Structure 1
Amino acid sequence: MAALLERAVSGDPDGDVGFLDHNEVYDGFADPPRVLGATAVTDSAHGLDAIDVGALLADLSASSAEAAAVCGFGPGFVGDVRAHLVEHLAAMRQFYREAAHRGRCVVVRVD
């Protein structure tokens, strides 16, 4: 499950993104954009839809501070970690489902 989520968020490292290699998109200070091809998008959509949210959250600490730290949110996170994760997983599922339905690729850029 971790690999699936990482791929959906970070893309594939071997994708052809040379068309994005210019200063307006990639300034060289962080990782370059990555791409998921249409088949990878469909695979990701199916994988995301198969995630059991209850199982995903089962091992998460009941302490909001500990849960935030495990998720990498840091000490400044305010709110319900579980609700945040559920909301964002739902949004990611919807995004990938729609992209797969349309046969689209996805370009991922984290800054």
Structure 2
Amino acid sequence: MAAALDIDYTRRNKKPRPLSDAERDQLDEFIDSIHYSSRYNDDHYEYRHVQLPKQMLKKIPKDYFDGARGTLKLLWEDEWRGLGITQSLGWEHYEVHEPEPHILLFKRPMNYQAPH
């Protein structure tokens, strides 16, 4: 199922890297300023983008970034939820909008049903 999303898993940490309590505390002030787009879709997926406050990027741990690109890596669900992003189940972080690296792009299959 996840492979069908065409996500370049080489752009992720090898396994989720949870934030420490101290790291999470540094991000708390930004959580209320995270902006969520409306959903949009094509025939296969629904999409949304999440805009982080630009100042928040300076507080995110360096190992969440892709040094070659200068943007965030593709984040595991545990990682983006740890940053304070809240959305329903099934969303995958599949791209960073490189001209605006504080914008994270998410998608999930149309009519996604959470496993029971």
TM-score range normalised by the length of the shorter chain = under 0.3
State the structure with more CA Rg: 1
Indicate the structure whose relative CO is greater, using CA pairs within 8 Å and at least 6 residues apart.
1
Q: Which has the higher strand share?
A: 2
For normalisation by structure 2, the TM-score amounts to 0.25
For normalisation by structure 1, the TM-score amounts to 0.26
Q: Which has the higher helix share?
A: 1
